[in-house]
Amino acid sequence: MTQSSAPAARLEVRHLTRAFGGKPVVADLSLTIAAGQVTCLLGPSGCGKSTTLRMIAGVERPDAGRIEIDGRLVSGEGSFLPPEARSVGLMFQDFALFPHLTVAQNVAFGLRDGREAKARRVDELLERVNLRGYGAKHPHELSGGEQQRVALARALAPRPRVMLMDEPFSGLDNRLRDGIRDTTLEVLKEEGTAVLLVTHEPDEALRMGDEIALMRDGRIVQRGSPYNVYNAPVDRAAAAFFSDVNVIRGQSRGALTETPFGAFLTPGHADGAPVEIVIRPQHLKIDFDRGGRGPLPTPTDGTAARGTVVRARFLGRESLVEFAMDFDGSRLTASVPGVFMPKAGTPLWLMIRRDRCFVFPAQR
């Protein structure tokens, strides 16, 4: 007898579809989330993330497709359970705590247990979100970050099988956000809930997700670990969603594309096919102009090409240096850690890290 080692799916979505006024907003979307796994549904505004989440929550009816939570059909084949019968916890950006209830009463709100069990669960959760001793306070006595943690405790109190979070941190100021994200992640992991977190911020998805599902125009275009989605994007738009990108165009011949930065391997592209070599700013290497001579090429860096600094901007952790390239005047941007602020007009040399570039068919 064989036994599957894959953890059982807590949330299973198959072929979910929804249109508004004839316009498809979610199109044939499928995803699976295991217990204890955080999947970030990441995509630009309007791509259908919230609609997906709302269908899973049970506040929006799908046109087609099925949703199972813990192996139980909650939507599809003619059935549609209301939110309260789905065992889902919800957390939204504009989470509202009940202002007239204390923190403890807020957290206990969805609990049906007896008094003692309820009190135990409330204490346990307040401890987890670092709010021990806050039970008797009212929401208005708490900071935004503290209120957020109460909202998290409240959503988790009934031990939902699936936690749905829609931009839960976007109402918080930047300095608070990282700390709250980390606390939230820790608590979610301890509880072992399956989490679907909707966000349009790549940094948040990279930081929070075990898996990222990148969404565009109602479809998931790529799914994988943050490392893979960042380092092996399926297309130029997927690469560009995480950072600015530089694009160098060429034509593939015999699985090679010649560029001013030397030849790039472009296997799988037909002879004469236009290709784009895409590279993030941090993977361009800068070298000095030694009286008009560039650096000696190395196998990983390839050939250097000369450009002139157009401007340099200091961004705190890094500096962005924009170049006009000698070979055709095109603009390329390199980022360097720390402060490197060459003056406009300075000639410098650029190299492309071969192991960090992506090759795609050219877009029209």
Ligand X SMILES: Nc1ncnc2c1ncn2[C@@H]1O[C@H](COP(=O)(O)OP(=O)(O)OP(=O)(O)O)[C@@H](O)[C@H]1O
Catalog residues that contact ligand X under the rule CB under 6 A. Answer: 20, 25, 43, 45-51, 200
Closest C-alpha among 312, 237, 308, 310 to residue 278: 237
**Closest CB to ligand X: residue number:** 50
CB closer to ligand X, 49 vs 283: 49
**CB-based burial label for 8 (10 Å; 0-12, 13-18, 19+):** exposed
Provide the terminal-to-terminal Cα distance of the chain, rounded to the nearest Å.
53
What is the nearest approach in angstroms of ligand X to the Cβ of residue 328? 37
What is the nearest approach in angstroms of ligand X to the Cβ of residue 289? 45
CB closer to ligand X, 50 vs 259: 50
What is the nearest approach in angstroms of ligand X to the Cβ of residue 199? 8
What is the nearest approach in angstroms of ligand X to the Cβ of residue 63? 13
Closest C-alpha among 285, 303, 297 to residue 348: 285
Please state the separation of Cα 254 from the chain's center in Å.
37
What is the nearest approach in angstroms of ligand X to the Cβ of residue 242? 17
Residues 6+ apart with CB under 8 A from 322: 309, 310, 311, 312, 313, 331, 332, 333
CB closer to ligand X, 49 vs 280: 49
Find the helix packing angle between 115-128 and 144-156, rounded to 10°.
130
What is the nearest approach in angstroms of ligand X to the Cβ of residue 46? 4
CB closer to ligand X, 21 vs 272: 21
CB closer to ligand X, 20 vs 98: 20
CB closer to ligand X, 18 vs 280: 18
CB closer to ligand X, 20 vs 288: 20
Residues 6+ apart with CB under 8 A from 248: 259, 260, 261, 276, 277, 279, 332, 352
Contact in structure between 286 and 350 (CB atoms under 8 Å): yes
What is the nearest approach in angstroms of ligand X to the Cβ of residue 52? 7
Question: Distance (Å, rounded) from C-alpha 34 to C-alpha 194?
Answer: 6
Tokens standing for residue 338: 């720390």
DSSP-derived letter for residue 175 is: H
Question: Distance (Å, rounded) from C-alpha 198 to C-alpha 210?
Answer: 13
